Each structure stands twice: as structure tokens, then as C-alpha cells.
Amino acid sequence: MESDTCTPTDLCPSHLTPGFKAFDPVRVAEATERVVCKGNKRRYSRFGWTINYKTGIATGYVVGCCLRCIYCWASETRDRLVKTSDFYSPQEAFERLTSEAKKKHLRQIRISDAEPTIGKEHLLELIELVERSEFDRFVLETNGILFGVDKDYVRSLSQFRKVYIRVSLKAGTASDFTQKTGAAPEAFDLPFQAIRHLRDEGLNFSVAAMSADPRFMSPEERISLIGKLASIDPALALNLEEEMVVLYPDTVKRIEAMKLDSYAGRIRALERIPVLGRFLQVSYQPVSTLARKSLVKSLKYSVRAFRELYHGT
């Protein structure tokens, strides 16, 4: 039975609630693809641009994901796949992205908001168009699930020189991974396996994690995540891009649906104060500065964090 959210509907919930049944994210990805892809066409909710990646980037916002992260910043389009989106071919998506880039004289493009690796045919054809264009870089942000189970998928990207991949880790332990994403604990290692595949194929990539936020990750879990990453390559741990949870309206709804309001509630009152709510920052010390105290690096980190909290993603 098809629905606006997932096919079939008993594979996963649209968002997590207490007592949820853990799901297989690979099966969810396959089911989601049947809804959001038609041949080489892919569903997008909108096109725009953001200040991300230093010089700004044109962005296509896709729909459909194989995880149900409680702190997800994406709008309701993550969960409502049909009514909020339209199909675009790779050429049509590229033309829309080009139009957005020209408005701000941008040299980079990406697709984001949900999981862009769902729809392999569409993605590879879109990257091929970017490869032949005047753009400098195509940024691919992914949770790594599909790259973890399909090394050939990763290998197919190695032919492109403009691709930059950013893998987002969700948790530091298998149990926390399930509680935060809804996916079965057996899938916890897939993003780490994706990182191994990317390294083996010599692709240009980095790793990010929602690990800078003590409201959502304990020190013990953070240590576990960093240690697991370091076991693959210590340089990856030293250069880990740690992120904070920004409490967008849809993010708050997902947190409250899991009855986890206590996480966000501790700072909710402060966020209501004008201006302060824009810049409130509670964070662990970045991994890159732990071994060498650096005031300049710490200040740069704080400025970047404030910038992202103010402008959003």
C-alpha cells in the first residue's frame, strides 16, 4: 500500500514516538525510492541557496530519507514525500540549481534536506552535468547508509573530480543510534563502513557528527564515536566537523514526539530572550583543539557556530 510517507507504510513511522519498532534503513531506502524516484527523475520540494561552505552554495532540496533522526532540521518534506514535491529530471534540476547559483554568483551546488543518495541514477546523471559545467564543486551530504552497503556505488563516484562528500554520523553507539534514528542497531556500522569505502576509493570527503551538543550526546557517547572514527583513520577524528542541534520548529516537534522535551527544555527559556536566542551556544571543546590549546581556533569555531545558528542551513 502506497502512502504520502513510506512504501509500504509498515516499514517505518514518519517520525519516532515512544515504543517505536526499529527498522531496517536499507529496506526503507528502497521503499522510499519507489515513491520519490521515477526513472531518472527525483522529487524536490524547492531550490534555493545558503551561506554554507564559506562562499555560499546553491541547493536543491530533495525529499525522502531512510532514517528518522529525532533532531533532524529538515522541514516536514522529510516525512511528507508526495504532496510537498515535484519530479525533476537531472537536466531540469541542474538548470534550476544553475539559476539559483547565478543569482548570487555562486560556484558550488548541492542537493540536501533529505538523503540524496536515494535515487542512484538521478544522482550520477546530475553529477555528470556538474562535471561538465563551470561549477567548481558538487557537495554531496549523506548519512552513509547506502554507501555502506554498496561499495560499487562509491566506486562509481570516483570518476568525478568535482565531488566532495560529507558523511554525517548520527551517534556513537549502536543503542544510541537506534534511539536517535529509529534504525536497527545492526545498521550502526554502515556509515563507518561508508567512510572506509570512501577512503579506499580515494574520494574527497569529510566526516561530520551531531556531537558538539551536550544536550543530545553524552561525553561517554562522544568519546565512543571519536574512538571508532579514529580506529579507521586518526586524521578523520582530528578533523571531525562537530555540529550543534538547532531547534527549528520541525526539530522541536520531532523531539517532543519522542517525549524528549527535557533535552531542549533546559535552554528553551533562554532562547525566548530576543537576540540571545539567535546566538545561544553550549558546546564541547572541538577535537582539533583538545591536544593544543588555541584561542584563535576556539574563537573561529565559536564564530562559525554563531553564524550557522543565525542563518540556519
Phi, psi of 112, rounded to the nearest 5 degrees: -150, -165
At 270, which amino acid appears?
L
CA distance 219 to 260: 18
Q: How confident is the model at residue 150 (pLDDT cuts 50, 70, 90)?
A: very high
Question: Domains in the chain, ordered, with CATH?
Answer: 9-311 (3.20.20.70)
Tens of pLDDT, residue by residue over 203-249, are: 999 999 989 888 788 888 999 999 999 999 999 999 999 998 887 88
- Check the CA dihedral 102-108-113-115 and report its sign: positive
7 has pLDDT over 80: no
CA distance 166 to 169: 10
How far CA 93 is from CA of 48, 111, 159, 255, 289, in Å, comes to: 11, 10, 21, 32, 40
Average pLDDT taken over every residue of the chain: 85
30 has pLDDT over 70: yes
Report the predicted TM-score, pTM, of the whole model to 2 decimal places. Answer: 0.84
Predicted local distance difference test score (pLDDT) of residue 260: 72
Least confident of 85-89, 173-177, 203-207, 304-308: 304-308
The answer to whether 60 touches 106, Cβ cutoff 8 Å, is no
More confident: 195 or 291? 195
Beta bridge partners of 62: 44
* Mean predicted confidence (pLDDT) in 174-202: 97
Cβ neighbour number for residue 187 with a 10 Å cutoff: 23
Least confident of 123-132, 184-193, 282-291: 282-291
Predicted local distance difference test score (pLDDT) of residue 2: 46
Predicted local distance difference test score (pLDDT) of residue 8: 46
Give yes or no for a cis peptide into 116 (omega within 30° of 0): no
Tens of pLDDT, residue by residue over 156-182, are: 999 999 999 999 999 999 999 999 999
How far CA 228 is from CA of 139, 225, 232, in Å, comes to: 25, 5, 7
User: Quick one: what percent of the chain has pLDDT higher than 70?
Assistant: 81
Tens of pLDDT, residue by residue over 245-289, are: 887 888 888 888 888 754 445 445 555 555 555 554 556 767 666
Nearest alpha carbon to residue 174 among 162, 159, 198, 191: 191
Predicted local distance difference test score (pLDDT) of residue 128: 98
How far CA 259 is from CA of 27, 168, 170, 179, 240, in Å, comes to: 27, 24, 19, 12, 30
More confident: 307 or 146? 146
- The label of the residue with cell 525510492 reads 33
Predicted local distance difference test score (pLDDT) of residue 1: 39
